[in-house]
Structure 1
Amino acid sequence: MGRERTRRWLYILLVIVPCLIGSVWIVRWQDEQLQRQQLEETRMFANIHRNDLDRFLAETTARLETLALVISKHTDIKENIHDVMKQMEKQDVRFERISFFSESTSPAMQLAEAIKQPMFTDDKTATIVTPIIDEQTKRAIGFLVATLRTDYMKQRMEIIYPQASFRLYDEKGNELFSANNLRASEETVVVHLNQAPWLIEANVPPVANKQRVQAALPYVFTFIVAVHMIWLFIQYWLLKRRTMMERMETEAQKLELVGTLAASTAHEIRNPLAGIKGFIQLLSEKHKDTESQLYFSVIQNEITRINDIVNEFLILGKPTVQKFETCDLNDIVLSIHPIIESQAHLHNVVYSLQCARVPLPIRCYKDHLKQVVLNLAKNAIEAMSSGGQLTISLAKQDGWALLHVSDTGSGIPKHVKDKLFQPFVTSKQTGTGLGLVVCKRIVDMHEGAIDIHSIENKGTTITVRLPLRQEVG
């Protein structure tokens, strides 16, 4: 129940909360992207409207200047000027009204007369004042005042981009007209015309909620899926780790149980075993015939084998208090060198020993380490049934003493590699499966480590690492 509650809280903290925070962030980020896109789009269409209005005003101004030039050259037209302007209003949709003034009646006319160019008035209307200049006197003989159709310009704006609101202002900030009166937004775009002292102000349209959802939904969905995949990976990792810990705990309990049982049983076996061994020796001295001696030798060998197994059982039990001393690992291996050499010679194995060139002082119990080396050497020799090469080498690496035991035997099968240090697991027909377990137990007692590298049909290398201590005085 507690584990399930913890898992539920972890799911909330590692999945639900990040999904909520991430989704909000994605929506805000996507909203900013859409708003920026709307801004750029509005600026683009504002420039389009400016170019369109500039072209519209340039054509209109050119038309009025042409009419003014014709009137200045043909004075007889003045009598019918009003008819000409009426006809022009009907033919050209850009003009709402065109008037003729013979004298200057406004500041705009005075300025147009002074600069001899068309001028835009500032009376809140889209009006152009065009002077009629006499070619001989270079003075204004009249003025054409044309009021433009703002509804025509407004209609063009609304057709091109109906999503945004546009307003046209004169140089004094008077609004000439507005197009697409939509809901106002906080962001605006302003562009200035080239043909007139006017400016276009455009409101950037706000992003619709539906548009937000449609844009953010794929990213939110992808983010949620990614977070859940990470959660599943974490769950898998935790489950794998928990399984491994439970397996290690089970193995430790199994080893402890086996060790306790083995130690208690071994003590009980050794007492009668000693008596049997003594009586066999007495019988062997009494019966000297060849057949009896053969039987006695077989019994003695089997008793010796039982005694070795009992010793291994004792080490599997709870470690007894041992007196550790500082010894050179080179000397420990050299002391059992003749035993290993004789065994190798007996099994047609080439044996070589390479001691370190420097002392390897370690805090240890010598007899236990001798048993480790003998067990590893024995396993290596038994793995080379048809002969081979056994190499034991010693070296110093940083703060460690290294013992390498290498053989060219059959190697360790794949199905056994992962269970090497479990009791009673062996690939030998006559093995007990306790040799490597005992070796690891002894190495662990000495705060060391044991590693095995094996390739089938090529050989095995076992490395034992032991921490170095102060050199022997």
Structure 2
Amino acid sequence: MKTRHKFTTYLLIVILPLIILSFIYWRHLDKSIQKERQEQAEWAGSVYRDYIDQVIGETKKKLELLSLSSSVLYMDDNRTEHLMKWIMDTDPRYAGVYWINMDGVSLSGTNKEFYHYYLIEQADINRAIITQRAVVAKGKALNNSGINHFSIFAPILDHEKRAHGFLLAQIRLDHMEKILNILIPDQTLKLKTSDNIRVLGMNETISRHSEWVDVPLSEVDWTLSVKKPDTLNTNNMNVFLMFVFFTFFFTHMIYTAVEELNVRREEKKQKVLIERQKIDFVGTLAASTAHEIKNPLTGIKGLIQLLVEKHPEEQDQFYYAVIMKEIDRINSIVSEFLILGKPMARDLSIYDVRSIIAELRPIIESEARYFNMEVTWHIVKEPIWVQCTKDQFKQIILNTAKNGFEAMKDGEKLSIRIYNEKDHAKIDIIDIGQGLNEKEIGKVFDPFYTSKKEGTGLGLFVCKRIIESFNGTIQLASKPLIGTTVTISLPLVTKHP
């Protein structure tokens, strides 16, 4: 049963929290990773897009500017070829530059192998004539000496804004790919037209689980797709494993602390049970023995009183006085033993604490005079109603006051305060005697513990049992060489006669 309880506790404190917290953290980590992957891919896409748009935009502007001067050079082959060669030599991005007629056929250019080739499709020609601006050709890319490229061309307009030819530049994809790799190395991307024709690809080792971020270009109706980084890497896994380890460590510490508390609680229960059994056994034994002692003791005391009357001599009276004193002491011890054997739950009545104290006051002051000491009283004027047994309550106050007298020296004062505190009646009995250390304070309410030479060790123990039967508490605070304060607390009764 105990093993099963331990397993259940371990499951609830260690295993389940570890699984739940690990799952929650993994979800949080996964969301953070996905967000970081998305942001990284978007950032890479924005860098690539800006570069590609810059290349296309700059080429468009350059071709539109050159097309203005080209209208003057139209049909002058030498000067036209010189212009196109200058364009080619000044920008390494170009694979070739060509003069195109209205049918899309090259008339001249930097590469004679492509003379009289159809380099522009009719749909692209119509688009350029309508817009009268440079456009990117949507036709299939040609291959110039093994170099992939795509084409941008601008219409050559006369003074009446009529096209009579085109100036075309081929952009080198290998050069563009090289620059893109320099900007962000080892990034996977692909560039496609609106018709899903592949224009450019980099580091394309693509798996089925690859995720992409699409970034549209501004200068042309193409889509740039950038692959998100891998989901897991060593750092992320190390962070997760470290979290699992520390979670297990802390939950295991909590489990150990809980088990320690359970062990202490069990030990405390066992101690209380053993103490109760011990008290019950001692109480039963003491009560039965006390009855057997008390009966003959009464007879002895009666006979001694007769002898006191019969032998008035001074020396005999001295001996009889000693015998009577010892008989009274035995009788007191036997009475305390009898209390141990009595059940504490008795018929309780409602009393004003002040009236009980008023009855005790002459006795306590007489005791103070006997010890050559004084008593100061601090009693509230309002009634303080509590539920108790009058005789037993008197016994508690007398025992506690007597302990205070015995702890002090001649001429010192004992203070007794009676007052209300919230919903409890409080009685403080304060002496300025030798006081007790912490070790002694922890034992004062244990049965048979005493610091007196002739004490039984039952006085405060019995007081505590009686007070607890009244649903109250008794506490002791003390400091060596300063004094001791005994505080008795009883619940106030709201409904009283």
Q: TM-score, normalised by structure 1?
A: 0.90
Tell me the equivalent position of 2:468. 444
Residue 295 of structure 1 and its aligned partner are, at CA, apart by: 1.5
| One of 237, 241, 245 as aligned partner of 2:269 | 245
- Once the two structures are superposed, residues 5-63 of structure 1 have per-residue CA deviations (whole angstroms, 9 ceiling, x without a partner) of 32123213321232233323333332222222111111111111112212322343344
Tell me the equivalent position of 2:239. 215
Q: Given residue 51 of structure 2, which amino acid in structure 1 is its aligned partner?
A: D
Rounded Cα–Cα distance in structure 2 between residues aligned with 1:110 and 1:471: 107
Q: Given residue 252 of structure 1, which amino acid in structure 2 is its aligned partner?
A: R
- Once the two structures are superposed, residues 167-205 of structure 1 have per-residue CA deviations (whole angstroms, 9 ceiling, x without a partner) of 223345543223232225464322233333333122323
Q: Determine whether 1:332 maps to 2:348.
A: no
Alignment map for 1:270-419 (pairs within 5 Å)? 270-319=294-343, 322-419=346-443
Q: Is the 8 A contact 2:59 2:152 kept in 1?
A: no
Q: Is the 8 A contact 2:44 2:226 kept in 1?
A: no
Q: Is the 8 A contact 1:361 1:472 kept in 2?
A: yes
- Once the two structures are superposed, residues 299-337 of structure 1 have per-residue CA deviations (whole angstroms, 9 ceiling, x without a partner) of 111111111111111111232775443332222121111
The SS at the match of 1:336 is helix
Cα–Cα, structure 1 residues 333 and 228, in superposed 2: closer, same or farther, change >3 Å? same
Rounded Cα–Cα distance in structure 2 between residues aligned with 1:79 and 1:311: 140
Residue 383 of structure 1 and its aligned partner are, at CA, apart by: 1.7
Rounded Cα–Cα distance in structure 1 between residues aligned with 2:13 and 2:367: 61
The CA RMSD measured in Å over matched residues stands at: 2.7
Cα–Cα, structure 1 residues 85 and 337, in superposed 2: closer, same or farther, change >3 Å? same
Q: Determine whether 1:152 maps to 2:175.
A: yes
| One of 185, 189, 193 as aligned partner of 1:166 | 189
Alignment map for 1:130-209 (pairs within 5 Å)? 130-134=154-158, 136-158=159-181, 160-161=183-184, 164-181=187-204, 182-185=206-209, 187-208=211-232
Residue 152 of structure 1 and its aligned partner are, at CA, apart by: 3.1
Q: Is the 8 A contact 1:328 1:472 kept in 2?
A: no
- Once the two structures are superposed, residues 341-399 of structure 1 have per-residue CA deviations (whole angstroms, 9 ceiling, x without a partner) of 01112323321223332323333322111100101111111121244322222223444
Rounded Cα–Cα distance in structure 2 between residues aligned with 1:302 and 1:259: 23
Q: TM-score, normalised by structure 2?
A: 0.86
Rounded Cα–Cα distance in structure 2 between residues aligned with 1:297 and 1:255: 35
Q: Is the 8 A contact 1:360 1:471 kept in 2?
A: no
Residue 256 of structure 1 and its aligned partner are, at CA, apart by: 1.8
Tell me the equivalent position of 1:127. 151
Q: Is the 8 A contact 1:108 1:129 kept in 2?
A: no
| Percent identity (aligned) | 35
Q: Is the 8 A contact 1:184 1:203 kept in 2?
A: no
- Once the two structures are superposed, residues 245-283 of structure 1 have per-residue CA deviations (whole angstroms, 9 ceiling, x without a partner) of 222222222222222222122111111211221121122
- Once the two structures are superposed, residues 422-441 of structure 1 have per-residue CA deviations (whole angstroms, 9 ceiling, x without a partner) of 11222333322111101011
Q: Given residue 32 of structure 1, which amino acid in structure 2 is its aligned partner?
A: K
**Unpaired runs of at least 5, structure 1:** none
Residue 69 of structure 1 and its aligned partner are, at CA, apart by: 4.3
Q: Given residue 419 of structure 1, which amino acid in structure 2 is its aligned partner?
A: K
Cα–Cα, structure 1 residues 100 and 332, in superposed 2: closer, same or farther, change >3 Å? same
Q: Is the 8 A contact 1:316 1:441 kept in 2?
A: no
Rounded Cα–Cα distance in structure 2 between residues aligned with 1:321 and 1:52: 95
Q: Is the 8 A contact 2:60 2:135 kept in 1?
A: no
Q: Given residue 375 of structure 1, which amino acid in structure 2 is its aligned partner?
A: N
Rounded Cα–Cα distance in structure 1 between residues aligned with 2:81 and 2:345: 130
Q: Determine whether 1:432 maps to 2:431.
A: no
**Unpaired runs of at least 5, structure 2:** 105-121, 142-149
Q: Is the 8 A contact 2:344 2:465 kept in 1?
A: no
Q: Is the 8 A contact 2:13 2:254 kept in 1?
A: no
Q: Given residue 28 of structure 1, which amino acid in structure 2 is its aligned partner?
A: R
Rounded Cα–Cα distance in structure 2 between residues aligned with 1:215 and 1:89: 53
| One of 460, 463, 466 as aligned partner of 2:490 | 466
Q: Is the 8 A contact 2:74 2:80 kept in 1?
A: no
The SS at the match of 1:420 is coil
Rounded Cα–Cα distance in structure 1 between residues aligned with 2:235 and 2:491: 68
Cα–Cα, structure 1 residues 101 and 322, in superposed 2: closer, same or farther, change >3 Å? closer
Q: Is the 8 A contact 1:129 1:146 kept in 2?
A: yes
Rounded Cα–Cα distance in structure 1 between residues aligned with 2:262 and 2:405: 42
Rounded Cα–Cα distance in structure 1 between residues aligned with 2:84 and 2:180: 27
